[in-house]
Amino acid sequence: MKLVLASVALLGLAGCAVTSAVPAGMPSGKFVSFTCADGKTFSARAADGGASVRVRGHHGAAELDRKADGVYEGDGYRLVTQGSDAVTLIHNGKAEARHCRAAA
CA distance 59 to 9: 47
Q: Is the pLDDT of residue 18 over 60?
A: no
Domain with 33 in it: 21-102
Q: What is the pLDDT of residue 24?
A: 67
66 within domain boundaries: yes
Residue 72 forms part of a structural domain: yes
User: 14 in a domain, yes or no?
Assistant: no
Residue 46's SS3 state is strand
Mean pLDDT of the chain: 81
Q: What CATH number does the domain containing 78 carry?
A: 2.40.128
Nearest to 89 by CA among 67, 56, 51: 56
C-beta separation of 93 from 77 below 8 A: no
Q: Are the C-beta atoms of residues 79 and 64 closer than 8 Å to each other?
A: yes
Number of structural domains the chain divides into? 1
Q: Say if 11 falls within a structural domain.
A: no
Please check whether residue 10 lies inside any domain of the structure. no
- Residues pairing with 31 in the sheet: none
pLDDT tens-digit readout, 71-102 = 999 999 999 998 877 899 999 999 999 999 99
- Per-residue pLDDT, 65: 97
Rounded-to-integer distance, Cα 27 and Cα 47, Å = 9
Let me know if residue 43 belongs to a domain: yes
Whether residue 6 lies inside any domain: the answer is no
Predicted confidence at residue 55, as pLDDT, reads 97
Identify whether 46 is part of a domain.
Answer: yes
The pLDDT confidence band at residue 104, using thresholds 50, 70 and 90, is confident
